[in-house]
Every structure is written in C-alpha cells, then in structure tokens.
Structure 1
Amino acid sequence: MGKQHSIVIAGGGSTYTPEIVLMLLDNLDKFPIRQLKLYDNDPERQSIIAKACEIIIKEQAPHIEFVATDSPEAGFTDVDFVMAHIRVGKYEMREKDEKVPLKYNVIGQETCGPGGMAYGLRSIKGVVEIIDYMEMYSPNAWMLNYSNPASIVAEACRKLRPDSKVLNICDHPIGLEDRMAKIVGLESRKDLSIRYYGLNHFGWYTDVQDKNGNDLMPQIKSYIGENGFNLNAIGKESRNSDPSWIHTYDMAKFVYELDPDTIPNTYLKYYLFPNKEVEIADANYTRANEVIDGREKRVFGECRNIIEKGTSKGTTLEIGAHATYIVDLACALSYNTHERMLIMVENNGAISNFDATAMVEIPCLVGSKGAEPLSIGPIPTFQKGLMEQQVAVEKLAVEAYTEGSKQKLYQAFALSKTIPGADIAKKLLDELIEANKDYWPTLH
C-alpha cells in the first residue's frame, strides 16, 4: 500500500469540503495522500474554505502538498481521483427549486420532483465538464461523483460519457445504515451486511444481517413500524438534527406500511405522501433557508475563525464520519479490495425484470476495474411500478437536456408522482424555465 495519492475535490467551496478534508486526513493510514487540491469555478467562495483547509493540513499532515485553484489545468493535472460535489446555481437556485413548486401546492425538494429536475438540468453540464477536464489532464483518474441529484446525473453520465471512469455514489443509504446499526445496538454500519435495490433516493432494503449472519430485519422493522428512523426512542437522536430531517425520519413509518417486507429509503415520502409534505412546508422558509442559516453560517464562520487565529486547534469542524465510504471506494479502486458497496450502475439484468439501461442503485463489488453489480433477481410489482415511473421521469429529463426538448421535459413533469396533473406541470415548467434561464440549455 505504498502509493501516495493525489486528489482534487471539485466543488472546493462547498460547506462539505472541510469535513471531507478532515475525513481524508483521518484515514491517511489506509489511504495515503501526497497532494490535495481544491477546484471551484467560484474562487471567492472557495478561498475562505481553502485558507482554513490549508491551515488544517499544515498542522495535521504537513507533507501533503495543498493547492486551491479555479484553473482546470492546475486542478486536474496529475490526479488519481476527482471527488466531485458541485452545486450549480448554489443555494440561491436551490431556494427557487423549493419555493416555485410550492406556489402550485407541489413539493419543492432538492432531488425529488420538479425541484430535483430543475437542479438536474443545471448539474449535467457542470458534471460533464469535470469529466472532460479529468480525461484531458489525468486520463487514468477515477471520478467519484456524489453531486446531486445523483439519479439524473448518473443517467446523463451513462448517456453522454458512457466510457468514462465515473462512479456515481450517494451517502444517504450510509446514514440510514448508521441508524439501523444504532437500532440493533451495533457499533457501526460496517457491522451490517445489507441487500438493497432501487434508484437513487428511491429504494428498499430487503435484507440486513450482522457479520455472523443473524437476521436483523425483524428487530429493525419492529422499531421502524413504531418510530420510523427517528432515534429518540433509544435516546440516540443527534442534537443538531434539523426539524425537516426529524420529520423525514418520522415519516418512514408511514412509508413502511406500504410494504412491511422491506425497509424503505426515507426519500420515498415525497412520492408517496406529496400532499402531506406540501401541508407542512413553509413557502417562505424551506430547507435551503435552513441550510443557509445553519450549516452555511456555521461552516464559513468556523473557517473564518481558523484563518483569524491561524490555527485549527479547538475547532468545531467535524470529521465527515459518514463520508468515509468515499475513502472505502477509493481504496477499493486503488487496491482492488472487492469491497461491497452501493453504487449507481446500469442495470444490465441485475434486476431481472427491469429496464436494462436504467441506472439502479444496488450492491456492487468494487475493484480496480470499477463496480461489478451483484444479481438482485426479479422485484415485486409495487416497487417495479414505482421505479418504472420514476426512471421514465429521469430519462425524459435527460433527453430534454440533450435534445433541447421542452416537450420531453413537460412529459417528465406530467409523469412525476409529485405533480398532481399535467395542467399544473405545464404552468410549473414555464415558471422554472424562466427561473433557470441562465443555467438550462434553450428548450424548444
């Protein structure tokens, strides 16, 4: 394991960057790094995060060469991994994704429904651009993409860059597995062995065991049936859980009622209970505002604090513990470990009764050649029906982008389970086209 890696974090100005950097520094024993770069096309925003990260790296691992840049050539030359978490349009556009649909009594959400499609159409160009920079300057590198909305981005990668070395991943199932481990009293999600299938933010656990093969499903299901994924019942709920997340964890018990044979991903609430979500939403203060007033202020404030003091001693910035899966993935690719991980891959028969070209999220064995999907077999009618509808929405959205087709985006909106009728879909689409005119391709 002697190789020292070079990494660029694309989206260096993100509030998640410091915790990713801290997480990488915490894992140097298994994943050694010689160079760490931050790349962002907004150098002003990145500079605050970068200056703080530079101080942290000097204190913890002075041997690592640190670079922060807005130059694609400087950012992507001589790297082994591109870790991408970009947000095209930043929180200002996220706010529109959430607030515009609410005018029509449709839920506005970052990755689901019309807001997710709006964000998706903004993200495709940015993600493809990063793939192209990587292939131009470091053709042997791998891109680990966890930019949202992952399902639309993954479909766009499949369609537009089918041969690129990109793995699309998501940390949400990791968070749920952490919660399942706590429910059954285990130390870590790594003590679980899971089976899961679906689309991104749209899936079901079918089996959860401990490392000795004991079936943990009955215990977890009984807990979720009563409490959802909320950990208050065992006194383990995090103090800084935002109200919107607490509600999301609570709602899992109602989603679970639809199929008590499986454990659902919490995002399914947006598709199955959209009216409930609209009822509790505050059209003037959405999740974007929660993040701007919470996480955004906290992280940037703390970075300024580090810069002012010239040291990170006593910092409140935390290691992104849930982000360790990124290191696991990089290790699996570097050292050919064949670790089992949830990855978005082209179905190709893994789910035997589902579209072969769909980008599904399923367990894969990851080695130096990428992700090898495990067989899932046939899935039940309920899940299959929901997934077919949602995968069609995602494919139509990507086709709308590649063909500049307003008609296809209208179809995607009309088909989404989150939008109650084609008439509303049409009005909503017109308003979102206007809101996104600086970001979307021209639609005819």
Structure 2
Amino acid sequence: MKLTVVGGGSTYTPELIDGFARLRDTLPVEELVLVDPAPERLELVGGLAGRIFAKQGHPGKIVTTSDLDAGVEGADAVLLQLRVGGQAAREQDETWPLECGCVGQETTGAGGLAKALRTVPVVLDIAERVRRTNPDAWIIDFTNPVGIVTRALLQAGHKAVGLCNVAIGFQRKFAGLLGVTPNDVHLDHVGLNHLTWETGVRLGGPEGENLLPKLLGEHGDDIAADLSLPRVLLDRLGVVPSYYLRYFYAHDEVVRELRTKPSRASQVAEMERELLKMYADPALDEKPALLAKRGGAYYSEAAVDLAASLLGGGGSPYQVVNTYNKGTLPFLPDDAVIEVQAAVGAKGATPLAVAEVDPLYAGLMANVTAYEDLALEAALRGGRDRVFRALLSHPLIGQYEYAEALTDQLIAHNREHLAWA
C-alpha cells in the first residue's frame, strides 16, 4: 500500500507519522511519500519520520519529494494538508477582519473566505494531476475550510472525503469522562464542517443508550470550560456545540479578546520555529510534546481509520466525515457537504440517518450552506462582486458596509494568490 501526503513538510506531519507507525496493523503502509515544495522543511520532517518508523519497528519506506506527479503516482490514497500562503497568510486572515469589528479566524467569516479563495484552485489542480496520474486513488482532504474544499473536489468528480478532528476529539473527551474506550463511544454528530453539534453520545453504536444528558449533568462545567462557553448555555441547549460555535454564540466577546492578545497565527508560527529546531535533532525519534499544542489532536487516528476503511481494510464501520448530503438533512440541498456519521467503505461514505434537527441549528446550517455556495462560486470564478456577495451572506458579517470594506481588504491582502485580481 502506498500513501502520499501533500503538504508533507508541515509540522503536523510527525503526528500523522506516529499514527501510521502505531496503527500499522490497521493500515499496513508499505510506502509513504511526503510531498512539499519547501525542501528544507521536507528534509527535517522526512528525517524525523524515518526515525519514528525505525524506533517503532515499522518496515515501511518513507520517500520525500517536491515532484507532485511522481509523488502521487501509484498511490492508493492521497492526503491533502496544505496551507496556501503559509502562516503569513493566516496571520492576515486573523487580523484585518478585526478592523471592521468582525471575527478574525482562519476557517470562518472573512478570513475563512480568504483561505477558501486561495486554496480551492490549488487543491483542484492537485486533484486533476492525481486523476491523470492515478485515477483510482482516494483523496482525503484535511485542508481547511474542509467543507468548501471537499465540495469543490466532489463537484469536480473526484473520489474525495473530507476529514476533521473535532469529532474524534469529542469522542476521546467523552470516553474519558465515561470511563470507557474511545471505540465504545458513538456520537450523534450533525452539521457542517466547523459548525457542528453533538446531539447524542451513545455506547456501542448508533442504537445505544444516549448518555449525553448524564454527561451534561455530571460534567457540564468541565465540558463548558473546554468550549469557553457558559454552562447555562449548554444546559439550555441540551447539546454540545463544537468550539467553533463560540464565534457565533459569543461573537462580540471573541472579537474583544482577539483585539487584546497575539493572534493564533503568531503563536503557531513561533511553535513551528521551535518544532523545526527539534526535528533537526538527529537524536529525536518520537513526536515531541510541544506538537500537541500545535493543533490537529488525534488527526492521525482519524486519518488512519478513514484510509483503512476506504482501502478495504479494518477501519471502523462508522466515522464522522464530510461528504454529500444526499437527502440526509432534508432542509439542505443534496449536493451540500455535511459533517455527520457515515458508513465508510471501499465505495466511499454513506451518511447515516439523522433525527429531526432543531430549527435553532437547522437555520444556521442553511444560512452557512448558502454562504458556502457563494464562497465556492467566488473561488471558482473570481470577481469582486462574487466575493462581496459571499461576505454579505455570512451570518458573522451581514451588513453591506462591512462586506464592502472586507471585500477590499480581502483582495488587497491576497492579490498574489488570486489569478483574477
């Protein structure tokens, strides 16, 4: 089995390598190719990857290359984890929206749109090259904004599934609180990427008893603290929103916070500098503890599970993924990309049935889906008016004066990445 990671020079990659090494019985990788246009980062990450495999006795071969076509040739699956523009672009995404009093975040609001506009054309070019070289390969997208990027891939006819680590993080959290193994926990997880709610926590599978009321009753303070939301809100909702919902439920509070502290991008950039120094140490043969603060917790477990199922191996029968709606949520178009539990196998992902969704959540999902329609149109066709329409439609923006100003800012800060600008 050959797997290729595009964006293999990312400081995330040792997390992924560690998972491949530990879970080699689930996903027996014979060749792992790391593709990245930055040779200096690729050398450091590839060296550590080889040492991690060696320490854990993994027999697989690790190859590094800046040649995308060579890297994806013959791959059974291609994982996308790239960041167009790097941390410098992320720093911009998280700062200029604040000038209008709007949240600055890399996956939602104006910053999320900027990232989508930079990313979608690049990802589609990569996917076309994968299809020309190896049309049977699965594409697993971890590149944000996952929902919009996955929809672009599916709309273009690619064999693609989107992946996010939010659900697996909740699965681990709830398993710890219940004193069971993560595999015992099945989530009723519903929404769009980075706009999801846990409406049930069940043991043993989708038909198990719902223990969410018990969790909220006994551990509500702990759960609320993790989300930086008040306990009383969780009690009133009766569900657990993802931490990204704080941008919607406490928008103005978040904006005030973001204006008074260093951006997350600057913090991550500093971590990356430290991590790359660590990766250069020839004695380092395991992922360092600092990597846990970088983000992407449990990404490796989720990626291994998904790849194993798609490639006919021993992955879990049900997994939370991003895929076409296909009637699962009747208030959304069939071709919307949703994030829900799905049965995953060699033919792809089939969403499980979802109980009726409270209008409180359905309305927000429908609004953000409409924004994603417009965002994808802007990413594919360009043009100032399309950018303005997408921004005006976003529930975190909504006012025409803000949308006008943010459109100008977005184009000015991303001109080098926008072919039409």
Q: Give the TM-score taking structure 2 as reference length.
A: 0.92
- Closer, same or farther: CA 314–181 of 1 in aligned 2, 3 Å: closer
**Structural mapping, 1:131-170, within 5 Å:** 131-159=127-155, 161=156, 163-170=157-164
- Closer, same or farther: CA 344–321 of 1 in aligned 2, 3 Å: closer
Which of 258, 262, 277 is matched with 1:301 structurally?
A: 277
- Closer, same or farther: CA 372–420 of 1 in aligned 2, 3 Å: closer
- Closer, same or farther: CA 33–225 of 1 in aligned 2, 3 Å: closer
Q: Which runs of 5+ in 2 are unaligned?
A: none
Q: Distance in 2 between matches of 1:95 and 1:154?
A: 24
Deviation at 1:124, TM superposition (A): 0.6
SS in 2 for 1:103: helix
Which of 64, 71, 74 is matched with 1:68 structurally?
A: 64
Does residue 365 of structure 1 match 2:362? no
Does residue 437 of structure 1 match 2:412? no
Which of 3, 24, 28 is matched with 1:32 structurally?
A: 28
The 8 Å contact of residues 144 and 168 in structure 1, kept in 2 or not, is answered as: yes
CA-atom RMSD, angstroms?
A: 2.2
The 8 Å contact of residues 18 and 287 in structure 2, kept in 1 or not, is answered as: no
Q: Distance in 2 between matches of 1:435 and 1:174?
A: 34
Q: Distance in 2 between matches of 1:12 and 1:41?
A: 9
Residue 97 of structure 2: aligned partner: 101
Deviation at 1:45, TM superposition (A): 2.5
Deviation at 1:316, TM superposition (A): 4.9
- Closer, same or farther: CA 252–342 of 1 in aligned 2, 3 Å: farther
The 8 Å contact of residues 184 and 219 in structure 1, kept in 2 or not, is answered as: no
Deviation at 1:335, TM superposition (A): 2.3
Which of 213, 216, 226 is matched with 1:218 structurally?
A: 213
Residue 109 of structure 2: aligned partner: 113
The 8 Å contact of residues 4 and 32 in structure 2, kept in 1 or not, is answered as: yes
Q: Deviations over 1:254-301 (max 9, x none)?
A: 6535622x221121111222101011113661111111123x133212
The 8 Å contact of residues 51 and 286 in structure 2, kept in 1 or not, is answered as: no
- Closer, same or farther: CA 7–17 of 1 in aligned 2, 3 Å: same
Q: Distance in 1 between matches of 2:115 and 2:236?
A: 29
Q: Which runs of 5+ in 1 are unaligned?
A: 231-245
Which of 355, 360, 368 is matched with 1:382 structurally?
A: 360
Which of 324, 343, 351 is matched with 2:301 structurally?
A: 324
Does residue 207 of structure 1 match 2:184? no
Q: Deviations over 1:198-239 (max 9, x none)?
A: 000111122211228333111222256434343xxxxxxxxx
Which of 315, 320, 325 is matched with 1:347 structurally?
A: 325
Q: Give the TM-score taking structure 1 as reference length.
A: 0.87
Deviation at 1:39, TM superposition (A): 0.2
The 8 Å contact of residues 414 and 422 in structure 1, kept in 2 or not, is answered as: yes
Q: Distance in 2 between matches of 1:253 and 1:137?
A: 52
- Closer, same or farther: CA 198–314 of 1 in aligned 2, 3 Å: closer
Q: Distance in 1 between matches of 2:418 and 2:166?
A: 27
Q: Which moved more, 1:93-102 or 1:68-77?
A: 68-77
Deviation at 1:313, TM superposition (A): 7.0
The 8 Å contact of residues 275 and 291 in structure 2, kept in 1 or not, is answered as: no
The 8 Å contact of residues 11 and 275 in structure 2, kept in 1 or not, is answered as: yes
SS in 1 for 2:95: helix
Q: Deviations over 1:302-348 (max 9, x none)?
A: 10113xx4x52796577964521111111112226571011111111
Residue 185 of structure 2: aligned partner: 192
What percent of counterpart residues are identical?
Answer: 28
The 8 Å contact of residues 413 and 419 in structure 1, kept in 2 or not, is answered as: yes
Residue 334 of structure 1: aligned partner: 311
Residue 265 of structure 1: aligned partner: 242
Residue 83 of structure 2: aligned partner: 87
Residue 394 of structure 1: aligned partner: 372
SS in 2 for 1:205: strand
Deviation at 1:95, TM superposition (A): 0.1
- Closer, same or farther: CA 314–398 of 1 in aligned 2, 3 Å: closer
The 8 Å contact of residues 84 and 146 in structure 1, kept in 2 or not, is answered as: yes
